[in-house]
Amino acid sequence: MLFQELQIIFVNPLTEPTMKKTLTLLAFLVFTLYCYPQFIIYHQHISFESNGQLAVINTGNPNNIWQVGVPHKTFFNAANTPPYAIVTDTLHPYPAGNTSEFDVKLIGPQSCWGTAFLQFVHKYDTDSLHAGGFLEVAYNDSTNFRNVVYDTVNGLTPHWMIQNFYTAKDTMEGGIPCFQGHSDGWISSFYSWLWQMGVKSINPEEMDSLTIRFVFKSNSNALPKEGWMVDDIDLTLYWCTSGIEELQDHAPMVMVAPNPVSDQSKVILSNYKSGTVAIELYDLAGTKIHELKASSSSEINFVKGSLNPGMYFLNIRGSSGESAWSRVMIE
């Protein structure tokens, strides 16, 4: 059963010159984009059936058209997980000249490097160039929001794991990067962040957080269409126990490429001692779903088999106690 669902085939080690080049690149990626994760400290799934209040609609804006409810439109005809989703009006098209927002939040631990993950499914139907949906992010005080594709200031670095997301080239009038046009059914989008959290006090209510804002915007020339519908939001915070600057060259590392995995991928290991390794695969809730022991190797062939689409966590532990994690997105 294990090999039917998760096929991991060991291949010959790389030649020494090639391995040195690969590990140099790997070290660069890890030290610039990666923390040394240990465990999930926060995970929240928002399906809007019983926990829709975790997506806070901006009630200070009287023109906010986001609603949690049963969609009754032509394209927005049902939630991804029925009956409820959050929709730019469950019945009517969006108006021109509208800006609507709702927020979700990740609560952070005491000061450390952290990696945050956002995954959600959505549909959109907008007047291209004149209307669209986009995400903003703010740290600490939830007042200084920036579009996620520009989240590169103050040492805040977007993670390299991005899936089915808009880019800086996907802009509506005014140069705002966004989702726009007509999606081909439901789309699963994924984005992650790496940031250093400071703490104002040890009071848990005052610990830093990452606030993600879903913004729908239409300009004065926008034609009325169905808008944006979002469902099944997953928020995960993966905590690391030390800062990037504390990592040493001898620390074990794991890299999965390409990632997301559509069919098969390579798992590249470095700084593992010879012997056996334990390969463990966890789902988003932190449940171990597969475990395998095999001889160590510099490179592993990972075949997704019958794994369901979504995010997983791969932990590889060496016989001498060395351990490293990697996120794996399955398409």
Residue 270 belongs to a domain with what CATH number?
A: 2.60.40.10
- Indicate the pTM of the whole model: 0.65
**pLDDT at 224 exceeding the cut of 90:** yes
How big is the chain by its Cα radius of gyration, in Å? 21
Label residue 277 exposed, middle or buried (CB < 10 Å: 0-12, 13-18, 19+).
buried
Question: Tell me: the pLDDT tens digits for 175-203?
Answer: 999 999 999 999 988 887 765 443 333 34
Same domain, 17 and 64: no
**pLDDT at 167 exceeding the cut of 50:** yes
Instruction: Count CB-CB contacts under 10 A for residue 54.
Output: 16
**In this predicted structure, what is the pLDDT of residue 210?**
76
Helix (H) or strand (E) holding 39: strand 37-46
Structural domains in the chain (count) = 2
Mean pLDDT of the region 230-236: 89
Same domain, 130 and 232: yes
CB 186 within 8 A of CB 87: no
Residue 121 belongs to a domain with what CATH number?
A: 2.60.120.200
Same domain, 182 and 283: no
Whole-number Å distance between alpha carbons of 97 and 278: 56
**In this predicted structure, what is the pLDDT of residue 243?**
41
Same domain, 205 and 133: yes
Same domain, 149 and 25: no
Same domain, 227 and 273: no
**In this predicted structure, what is the pLDDT of residue 309?**
85
What are the residues facing 124 on neighbouring strands? 228
Same domain, 185 and 284: no
**In this predicted structure, what is the pLDDT of residue 121?**
93
CB 193 within 8 A of CB 210: yes
Same domain, 217 and 102: yes
Same domain, 296 and 167: no
Record the tokens describing residue 211, joined without a space: 């606030």
**In this predicted structure, what is the pLDDT of residue 42?**
66
Same domain, 141 and 217: yes
- Among 211, 240, 269, the domain boundary falls at 240
Same domain, 180 and 45: yes
Whole-number Å distance between alpha carbons of 246 and 251: 10
Domain containing residue 298: 2-36+247-330
Question: Tell me: the pLDDT tens digits for 78-123?
Answer: 999 999 999 999 999 999 999 999 999 876 554 444 567 788 999 9
**In this predicted structure, what is the pLDDT of residue 104?**
92
- Among 240, 272, 301, the domain boundary falls at 240
Mean pLDDT of the region 21-30: 34
Whole-number Å distance between alpha carbons of 54 and 41: 18
**In this predicted structure, what is the pLDDT of residue 68?**
96
Specify the residue for token string 């996120």.
327
- Among 177, 210, 240, the domain boundary falls at 240
Same domain, 198 and 50: yes
Whole-number Å distance between alpha carbons of 158 and 148: 8
Residues whose CB is less than 8 angstroms from the CB of residue 19 and which lie 6 or more positions away in sequence, other chains included? 13, 298
**In this predicted structure, what is the pLDDT of residue 115?**
67
